[in-house]
């Protein structure tokens, strides 16, 4: 147990470095630009993924609907009405 406490004590003490001044800590502007670029890349990748998943889902739903209609026999073209046609009326017009 004493080794654990000693390790925590050493880790918690501030390390004094003469090369560091007050303004030389942190990532700076370049770090901000890099982080912003990564955030934008992730946003665009997520939007693209959602679009592709939606496209696949709609395609599979349409295919399932088409298969269902084919099984029912409703996919065949509908016949035109069988009203009698007067041949004399169609010749006059």
The total number of residues written for the chain in this structure:
93
Q: And the tokens for 14?
A: 């501030």
* Domain with 49 in it: 39-73
Phi, psi dihedrals of residue 78, rounded to the nearest 5°: -80, 145
33 is a domain residue:
no
26 is a domain residue:
no
What is the enclosing helix (H) or strand (E) of 71? helix 28-72
Is residue 42 classed exposed, middle or buried when 0-12, 13-18 and 19+ CB atoms within 10 A define those classes? Answer: exposed
31 is a domain residue:
no
81 is a domain residue:
no
Smallest CA-to-CA distance from 76 within 63, 64, 90, 66 is with 66
Examine the pLDDT at 75 and tell me if it is beyond 90: no
Instruction: Give how many domains the chain has, as a whole number.
Output: 1
What's the pLDDT tens digit per position in 3-36?
777 777 777 665 555 566 666 677 889 999 999 9
């Amino acid at each position: 147990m004493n080794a654990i406490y000693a390790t925590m004590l050493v880790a918690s003490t501030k390390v004094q470095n003469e090369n560091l001044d007050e303004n030389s800590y942190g990532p700076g502007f370049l770090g901000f630009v890099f982080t912003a670029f990564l955030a934008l890349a992730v946003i665009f990748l997520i939007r693209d993924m959602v679009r592709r998943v939606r496209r696949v889902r709609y395609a599979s739903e349409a295919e399932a609907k088409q298969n269902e209609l084919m099984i029912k026999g409703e996919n065949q073209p509908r016949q035109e009405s069988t009203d009698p046609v007067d041949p004399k009326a169609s010749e006059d017009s």
